[in-house]
Amino acid sequence: MRRDTVRKLYRDAILQVFGCDDSELDADLAKALKKDVHYSDCAPGEWSPDSVLEIYCESGIPNATDINDFRAEAIEFGLSPENAVSYNSDKWCDVDGVVNLMLEAMGKYERYYHEPQNSAVVNVYRS
């Protein structure tokens, strides 16, 4: 599998999962995807040269370790707090799912998954 194909699939999947389908509102995310998704052996941080990709989550790409807790705000506005927490790790699993689904549609048997390196870096590995 060519690395540029995997990088393009991850860029597209991240935009699909974390974006909102509005090019103006997604502009910052799209810009970050162009500059912050690196081949691991060429990545500036060199966190994991054995991975396929290093994705930096400091300029607009959501990291895989954040928990977004809006229960207090939901209560303040009279909404139910039970669905007011979201986990970025769940969204990153969706990203992996989109990438692997696209690979399956292309007739490829390789599968990929993400693994958080720290709160600012996500590595992508081949299964």
**pLDDT tens, residue by residue, 63-104:** 999 999 999 999 999 999 999 999 999 999 999 999 999 999
Confidence band for 56, pLDDT divided at 50, 70 and 90: very high
Nearest-5° Cα angle at 81, 80 to 87: 135
SS3 breakdown of the chain: % helix, strand, coil, rounded to 5? 45, 20, 35
pLDDT band at 1 (very low <50, low <70, confident <90, very high): confident
Tokens of 74: 């939901």
How many residues are recorded in the chain?
Answer: 127
- Say if residue 59's pLDDT is above 90: yes
- Please state, in angstroms and as integers, the Cα–Cα distance from residue 111 to each residue in 10, 36, 78, following that order: 12, 22, 43
Domain residues of the chain, as ranges? 3-63+90-126
What's the whole-model pTM score? Answer: 0.91
Q: What is the mean pLDDT of residues 42-68?
A: 94
Q: What is the pLDDT of residues 25-40, one digit of tens each?
A: 999 999 999 999 999 9
Q: Which residue has the tokens 């909404």?
A: 79
Q: Indicate the residue type of 59.
A: S
**DSSP letter (8 states) at residue 62:** P
User: pLDDT grade, residue 110 (50/70/90)?
Assistant: very high
